[in-house]
Amino acid sequence: MDFEVVSLFPEMIEHAAGFGVVGRARERGIWRLRCWNPRDQVTDGYRRVDDRPFGGGPGMVMLAEPLAACLQALHAARAAADQPRARVIHLSPKGAPLTQARVQSLAQLPAMVLLCGRYEAIDQRLLDAEVDEEISVGDFVVSGGELPALALMDAVVRLLPGVMTDAESAQHDSFSDGLLEGPHYTRPEVFRGEAVPEVLMSGHHARIARWRREASLQATATRRPDLIEAARRDGRLSPQDEAFLRNLG
């Protein structure tokens, strides 16, 4: 998997990409990162990449030309290396919400370009001409696209083959089956007077599996009832699940 990141702050991406399972996976060559700074495509002394918006208003708008030149150089470099053209994704609060299902599909791509905006916006003509998809990591606004890009990269990389020590770990994450994960416990068996649920100490795999399913259903019904309704519409709840949910009141 190749990540090509277009950012005014490439050092921010490079530094953060070196930690944890993501950093170790990069060291092992499971995924590759290359950063592109639009300022490198500007020839004036100020290396200017933004200007005031037509029509007035607050903030500055990123210029189309430096970004277009940056993307052109990126695509040309990939073509020269006989690498497939990468899907261009703009991290934007106006984009479609990032879900675990979308992360799973993105993890199947050979490469992607993550376009990180700054200032008030990017010239819409650049977005219309060059961007394949806009993705949002939540209904809030941050200073630029770098943090959302890092979040997306982390979510995708951990699904790549060979990244997780336990291959099943990612399969049991929250949202992987449309529901939230239930609680987890480890040593000591008693902490501040609270014991680990007895069933988890029983060694009875079927009972443990059912307990975990019901804990997941309870957590989801309490915190994200919308996910329960979505699972119900999709037919992902068994009669046993439905009976448990009815008993929750």
Spell out the SS3 assignment of 133-183: EEEECCCCCCCCCHHHHHHHHHHHHCCCCCCCCCCCHHHHCCCCCCCCCCC
Beta bridge partners of 136: 97
* Contact between residue 246 and residue 238 where contact means Cβ atoms under 8 Å apart: no
Catalytic residue among 173, 177, 181, 214: 173
Whole-angstrom distance, CA of residue 213 vs CA of residue 180:
10
Whole-angstrom distance, CA of residue 146 vs CA of residue 154:
12
Whole-angstrom distance, CA of residue 145 vs CA of residue 31:
20
Q: Does residue 102 have an active-site annotation?
A: no
Q: What are 224-233's contacts with CB under 8 Å, separation 24+?
A: 224/180, 227/178, 227/179, 227/180, 228/179, 230/178, 231/178, 231/179
Q: Does residue 173 have an active-site annotation?
A: yes
**DSSP 3-state of 93:** strand
Catalytic residue among 14, 120, 154, 177: 120
Catalytic residue among 39, 93, 181, 224: 93
Q: Does residue 66 have an active-site annotation?
A: no
Whole-angstrom distance, CA of residue 31 vs CA of residue 37:
20
Q: Does residue 120 have an active-site annotation?
A: yes
Catalytic residue among 118, 146, 158, 241: 158
The residue written with tokens 């916006």 in the block is 121
- Residues catalogued as catalytic: 93, 120, 158, 173
